[in-house]
């Protein structure tokens, strides 16, 4: 049985310019461009194999990386169209340019023009966007640096946005404008260090998804009709890239800051066969997950009056990999109690109908209803060590009874000698 859960958390990079602490667009950066066409979300669903382009870009020899013209000529050699040219440039930048955390945290910025970034191989978002623009131009592509507001490093739910803090790009491919962010594709900030990790999600991201954490200063560069307002942007929960990559589509409530009396329920929708974890201030004792046919509920109980951080993680059920963060809320409860816990549940595939409370009354009978796929028998093991076995009815188990004070373990048998524990109650 696994004892440890490993978590992936992606934090987008925000950035500042050397001059003013914010990213300010030049007047002629975008005003003279024609109004961009709205690009539908379908591009994200295309199955395109960029492996040959990526491999070529990642294997660029040092000899071609000394100036922009020579580098771009090399990168676009295998490209058959504008999309592949764009990919080659994007992939090289996201791999070779390191985010300049020293400048970001100190406020002492290096030059961020394209040639300086190419030589230093380090910059904040301004430099990433400038370099992409310069390389795109050499490749015969029309591109635009866009500045605006982001839900990147340092973002907190409910933040009031007042100053532009990020830069990214739009590129025209076959007459249509697309969005990309080579800074966020390069990796993330961990503490005060940059962790390199390619994030493909930010390449030609559908505008409907990109707008969740990127709001351009100039409305037309949303590529959306109707456009999203600043208030709608601010009041929308930040969806991590993994939210979309795992096939999730909806979440309710969608506000990043929630208030409730002593409990609440969140609902997510998307593809089937996902598994979730949720923690309240890093404790899983006060959260419970329900799932059925691609619909998932996250139940939360309050341990007491106050403010809390709710973090939600997910992964594919068949995956042996790590859980990824998908959402994070700020919660405020009016009341609650430390004993307001859900039953302790171990990572065995099961669905608990009832009871879900951790603390049960020794003088009361409860209806225990549990589905455990693949299990032949269940055993209720009380504090005295006595076993009460229950046989399966189509992988569903039901037992009505009461138990003495102390710890009550529920174990399952799958045809072997072992009986892994799946639930632990406390009988008062």
Shared domain check, 275 and 187: no
- Asked if residue 381 has a cis previous peptide bond (ω within 30° of 0), the answer is no
Q: Does any domain span residue 153?
A: yes
Q: Does any domain span residue 242?
A: no
Shared domain check, 277 and 147: no
Q: Give 121-171 pLDDT, tens digit per residue.
A: 999 999 999 999 999 999 999 999 999 999 998 898 888 899 999 999 999
| CATH number of the domain encompassing residue 378 | 2.60.40.1930
Q: What's the whole-number mean pLDDT along residues 370-396?
A: 94
Shared domain check, 277 and 367: no
Shared domain check, 227 and 266: no
Residue keyed to tokens 């667009």 = 25
Q: Does any domain span residue 226?
A: yes
Q: Which two tokens stand for residue 85?
A: 């040219």
Q: What is the pLDDT of residue 47?
A: 64
Query: Quick one: what percent of the chain has pLDDT higher than 70?
Result: 89
Domain that holds residue 400: 344-427
Q: Which two tokens stand for residue 4?
A: 């440890």
Q: What is the pLDDT of residue 107?
A: 82
Distance CA 142, CA 171 (A): 6
| CATH number of the domain encompassing residue 297 | 2.60.40.10
195 Cβ partners below 8 Å, 6+ apart?
187, 188, 189
Domain boundary among 333, 352, 370: 333
| CATH number of the domain encompassing residue 193 | 3.10.620
Count of structural domains within the chain: 3
Distance CA 418, CA 411 (A): 9
Shared domain check, 311 and 231: no
Q: Is the pLDDT of residue 39 over 80?
A: no
Shared domain check, 176 and 57: yes
Distance CA 398, CA 379 (A): 11
- Residue-averaged pLDDT of the chain: 90
Domain boundary among 333, 359, 378: 333
Q: What is the pLDDT of residue 15?
A: 64
Q: What residues form DSSP beta bridges with 63?
A: none
Q: Does any domain span residue 314?
A: yes
Q: Does any domain span residue 4?
A: no
Distance CA 373, CA 221 (A): 49
Q: Does any domain span residue 354?
A: yes
Instruction: Kindly tell me the burial class for residue 333, based on how many C-beta atoms sit within 10 Å of its own C-beta (0-12, 13-18, 19 or more).
Output: buried
Q: Is the pLDDT of residue 19 over 80?
A: no
Shared domain check, 214 and 89: yes
Q: What is the pLDDT of residue 190?
A: 87
Q: What's the whole-number mean pLDDT along residues 210-231?
A: 97
Q: What is the pLDDT of residue 172?
A: 98
Q: Does any domain span residue 321?
A: yes
Q: What residues form DSSP beta bridges with 316?
A: 274
pLDDT confidence bin for 3, thresholds 50/70/90: very low
Residues 325/329/335/336 CA torsion (nearest 10 deg): 0
Instruction: Kindly tell me the burial class for residue 42, based on how many C-beta atoms sit within 10 Å of its own C-beta (0-12, 13-18, 19 or more).
Output: exposed
Domain boundary among 314, 333, 352: 333
Q: Is the pLDDT of residue 284 over 60?
A: yes
Shared domain check, 315 and 352: no
Q: Does any domain span residue 339?
A: no
Shared domain check, 15 and 141: yes
374 neighbors 414 (Cβ within 8 angstroms): yes
The sign of the torsion formed by the CA atoms of 32, 34, 40, 45 equals: negative
Distance CA 110, CA 98 (A): 13
Distance CA 270, CA 274 (A): 9
> Burial code of 20-34, b = ≥16 C-beta within 10 A, e = fewer?
eeebbbeeeebeebe
Instruction: Kindly tell me the burial class for residue 8, based on how many C-beta atoms sit within 10 Å of its own C-beta (0-12, 13-18, 19 or more).
Output: middle
Shared domain check, 355 and 304: no
Shared domain check, 286 and 161: no
Shared domain check, 353 and 324: no
């Amino acid at each position: 049985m696994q004892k440890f859960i490993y978590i992936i958390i992606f934090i987008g990079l925000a950035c500042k310019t050397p001059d003013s602490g914010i990213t300010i667009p030049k007047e002629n950066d975008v005003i003279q461009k024609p109004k961009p066409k709205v690009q539908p979300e379908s591009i994200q669903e295309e199955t395109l194999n960029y492996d040959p382009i990526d491999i070529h870009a990642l294997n660029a020899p040092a000899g071609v990386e000394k100036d922009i013209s020579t580098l771009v000529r090399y990168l676009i050699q295998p490209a058959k169209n504008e999309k592949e040219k764009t990919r080659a440039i994007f992939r090289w930048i996201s791999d070779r340019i390191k985010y300049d955390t020293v400048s970001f945290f100190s406020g002492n910025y290096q030059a961020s023009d394209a040639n300086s970034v190419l030589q230093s191989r380090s910059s904040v978002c301004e430099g990433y966007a400038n370099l992409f623009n310069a390389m795109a131009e050499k490749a015969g592509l029309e591109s635009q640096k866009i500045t605006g507001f982001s839900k990147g490093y340092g973002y907190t739910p409910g933040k009031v946005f007042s100053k532009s803090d990020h830069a990214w790009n739009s590129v025209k491919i076959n007459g249509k404008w697309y969005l990309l962010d080579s800074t966020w594709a390069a990796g993330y900030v961990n503490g005060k260090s940059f962790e390199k990790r390619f994030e493909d999600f930010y390449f030609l991201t559908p505008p409907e998804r990109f707008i969740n954490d990127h709001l351009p200063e100039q409305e037309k560069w949303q590529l959306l009709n109707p456009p999203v307002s600043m208030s709608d942007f601010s009041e929308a929960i930040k969806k991590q890239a993994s939210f979309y990559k795992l096939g999730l589509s909806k979440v309710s409530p969608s506000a990043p800051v929630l208030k409730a009396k002593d409990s609440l329920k969140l609902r997510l929708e998307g593809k089937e066969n996902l598994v979730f974890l949720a923690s309240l201030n890093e404790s899983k004792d006060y959260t419970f997950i329900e799932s059925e046919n691609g619909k998932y509920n996250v139940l939360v109980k309050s341990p007491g009056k106050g403010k809390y951080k709710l973090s939600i993680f997910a992964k594919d059920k068949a995956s042996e990999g790590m859980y990824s963060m998908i959402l994070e809320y700020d919660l405020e409860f009016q009341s609650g109690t430390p004993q307001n816990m859900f039953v302790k549940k171990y990572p065995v595939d099961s669905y608990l109908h009832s009871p879900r409370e951790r603390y049960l009354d020794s003088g009361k009978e409860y209806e225990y209803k549990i589905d455990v796929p693949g299990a032949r028998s269940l055993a209720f093991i009380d504090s005295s060590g006595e076993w009460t076995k229950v046989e399966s009815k189509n992988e569903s188990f039901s037992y009505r009874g009461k138990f003495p004070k102390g710890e009550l373990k529920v174990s399952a048998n799958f045809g072997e000698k072992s009986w892994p524990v799946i639930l632990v109650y406390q009988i008062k």
